Amino acid sequence: MATPTTHAFGIDIGGSGIKGAPVDLETGTFSGDRVRIPTPKKSTPEAVVDVIGELLEQFDEDPSIPVGLTFPAPIVDGGLPFVANLDQSWVGVDVAEVVHDRLGRKVVALNDADAAGIAEVQYGAAKGVPGVVLLTTLGTGIGSALLVDGTLVPNTELGHLEIDGHDAESRASSAVKDREDLSYKEWATKRLQKYYDTVEKLFSPDLIVVGGGVSKDHEKFLPLLKTRAPIIPAVLRNKAGIIGAAYRAGERAE
């Protein structure tokens, strides 16, 4: 029987920054300081992998330590069918393969919202919750992760549901709230309520977890929403992607 992996490294690749930290998989906490390096303006695979290498060099980690990467796009059979926030040259690229070829490190790659969902189920707001858990991240868009009894249904992309003829995130993301100068009450009652009504009808979740940077102000808008399932704030927030990626890498290494 393989020895359980208790330590892994997580990297969260975003449109503006690439962040990484070692993670203690027993506690779901960082076992070293997080490092952030700006995403290259020309965010090609070559440029991004260079930054990943630069980030890993800042830590005295054994090359055998499992590495997990999050990516701001769906990952299907290792490849990217489309990309929104990075250079379009990523389309069709196998993320784990290109990192391994350049750096010699075996990595596991997954969607950023999926990584956050895994982290919240394993260590955060949804730990120990049976049934269907839906995590949504409210930010530039709306990310989603759907888990059933702790098992991920990958690449759900529920921010792109069409609601009243609109792409959902184009009406209900926190970026839209800021851009249109909506109050928390206006945003919750006129935009978010319709979104969560729709996802509840489609998926009947047992718990809804709300993440993204705006979740730090959850008391200003979550109590205004009327949902059948409990709706609660994420607890890991901007750490969730790194932690979830590390967890998945450690899981695959066993």
* pLDDT tens readout for residues 149-187: 999 999 999 999 999 999 999 999 999 999 999 999 999
Q: Which residue from 22, 17, 52 is spatially nearest to 37, judged by alpha carbons? A: 17
pLDDT at 189: 97
Which residues of the chain, if any, have pLDDT below 50?
A: 1-2
The answer to whether the CB of 57 falls within 8 A of the CB of 37 is no
Predicted TM-score of the model (pTM)? 0.92
**pLDDT for the residue 225:** 98
Asked whether residue 221 falls in the same domain as residue 244, the answer is: no
Burial-class residue 221 by CB neighbours within 10 Å (0-12, 13-18, 19+).
Answer: buried
Helix (H) / strand (E) element for 129: namely: none
Q: Quick one: 98 and 12 in the same domain? A: yes
How many separate domains does the chain show? 2
Residues 209 and 145 in one domain: yes
- A 10 A CB-CB count for 215 gives 24
169 and 77: one domain?
Answer: no
Q: Are residues 136 and 177 in the same domain?
A: yes
**In the chain, % of residues over pLDDT 70:** 98
- Is 30 inside any structural domain? yes
CA–CA separation, 35 vs 22, rounded Å?
Answer: 10
Q: What is the CATH number of the domain that holds 84?
A: 3.30.420.40
